[in-house]
Amino acid sequence: MAHPKRNHSKTRRDKRRTHDKTTPATYSICSNCGAPVVYHRVCPECGYYKGKKAIEKETAV
């Protein structure tokens, strides 16, 4: 097996690994309104998080 004489720098190592970091977002269903929501985020439709009101949503007039 090949063995490098010198270590690769952290920058070079991280550049090689950049393409592995992007993963698609995981969605769940909002328990209040049923809209799809990214995990660990406030629901953009109703403003609830974990069954509690997190932000006040403005209503259309």
pLDDT, one tens digit for every residue, the chain (61 residues): 788 899 999 999 999 888 876 778 889 999 999 999 999 999 999 999 998 998 887 766 6
- Residue 4, pLDDT score: 84
Report d(CA 51, CA 33) in Å as an integer. Answer: 10
State whether residue 25 is helix, strand or coil.
coil
Q: What is the pTM of this model?
A: 0.55
As given in the structure block, the two tokens for residue 7 are 């270590």
